[in-house]
Structure 1
């Protein structure tokens, strides 16, 4: 299953499960959904939320898929603003 956006990934796994896996509050996860991407620190390697979410997914998604859908969203936002 190829996810279309970060919200789809998170909602499939469920927000409370993702929050617990990442050691964050559900509110923080909803902010990711609203923004359509993980924090910048996950793309720079400072944090590993995508890996934690992938583990929590039980094999539904890989860390790379999760990073890619967020990056894809960011790229669309950049081109929409131009």
Structure 2
């Protein structure tokens, strides 16, 4: 799942080498922390958060197939 988020983020930003995804595993939920360059933050979030919402939807759908719950946090 980490590779999925990383691949999506790298295709959206201008500086793909600065994309970092960290996986924090909890009891019921796995949190994926996404970091990008400050100038690329708007590209990952999108207008009114539509791009971020779309990434979260893909993550939820893929997580259902694996019977796990994933959350995406976009960090500055």
Q: TM-score, normalised by structure 2?
A: 0.35
Q: Which structure carries more helix by proportion?
A: 1
Q: TM-score if structure 1 supplies the norm length?
A: 0.34
Q: Kindly indicate which of the two structures has a greater share of residues assigned to strand.
A: 2
